[in-house]
Amino acid sequence: MPSPIDLFAQDTGEGLAHEVTTALIALEGQRAAALLERLRAQFPKHRALAPLALLCDALVEEPPPATSRAVERAAAHIEQALAPAATLLLGAHAARFVGGRWAVLACSPGAQPFDADYPEAFRAALLLRAGDAAAAREAAAGLAQANQHACAQGWLAQATYRLDGPREATQYVFRAVLLAAEGVDALLRALGDEALLRDLRDYRAAADATSQPPPADDLFPAWCLLRHPAASTPAMATDLPDTPAALCLRQVLDLLALERGGVSRALVQGRERLRSLQPWLFESYMATRARTLG
């Protein structure tokens, strides 16, 4: 004989709603849809009907988006409607459910080739949202001239950060900033790296305090290496864009290599080259090196 609590749950539809969510967690779309119809018929005013319907609809097989614009609309639906509904009803299982929808979208015809008008509709961006960093890295690296592609470098930074850690990702972060400095805030937030975010705040504060007008954010990579010389790697100097900020980064990398041999004529000449390239960055360099290198 059912307990009073069981009877109450059945009378309010909570037990049936729980069955729907259980089927959704198991990705049993047809069973979830059938249970939802029962819930709708028996309890037409149940508070979970609308979000449950959203989740059930997500498991219905439909023709995949065929254009980048259509992929972008589908992505907005996942982000703005589906993800909140999953968080509300599926709890700890929400990430897996939503990640699966991102993975399905990443396989749609509209997710490639890359469309500059809808960059976040590209396969690599969607795979990152699906949690598949390895596949995202492969997709980003496969873009034509990926080393000169700001979006590709940003996706490579995020994928490599998840797979190999911050040190290995730094070269991609720096290259992405050099190629499109306006995206630095969004990229560092996507990485969730508090140390890099703090470095960016400190860079901007120093630039505002010591230079008018302050230098642009594309100098951040070179300035950051002055603060963290141990983060420099030979890979950072490869395939840099042909820009003044990239030349500054290359020069800082050269100086850091020369410093290992102590004060020398080559080091002095390298400093002069940095002064001619970017006087403010040179002053920042000297301020950090005066105590140890003279």
Q: What is the 3-state secondary structure (H, E, C) of 105-162?
A: HHCCHHHCCCCCCCHHHCHHHHHHHHCCHHHHHHHHHCCCCHHHCHHHHHHHHHHHHH
Does residue 3 carry a pLDDT above 50?
no
Which pLDDT band holds residue 69 (cuts at 50, 70, 90)?
very high
Domain identity same for 256 and 228:
yes
Q: Is residue 141 part of a domain?
A: no
Output the pLDDT for position 292: 52
Which pLDDT band holds residue 11 (cuts at 50, 70, 90)?
low
Query: 278-287, pLDDT tens digit by residue?
Result: 999 999 999 9
Q: Is residue 213 part of a domain?
A: yes
Domain identity same for 170 and 291:
yes
Q: Is residue 240 part of a domain?
A: yes
Output the pLDDT for position 12: 75
Count how many domains the chain has: 3
pTM, 2 dp: 0.89
Q: Is residue 144 part of a domain?
A: no
Output the pLDDT for position 234: 83
Structural domain harbouring 88: 62-131
Domain identity same for 159 and 236:
yes
Domain identity same for 154 and 294:
yes
The stretch 89-96 carries a mean pLDDT of: 97
Domain identity same for 67 and 181:
no
The stretch 133-158 carries a mean pLDDT of: 96
Q: Is residue 186 part of a domain?
A: yes
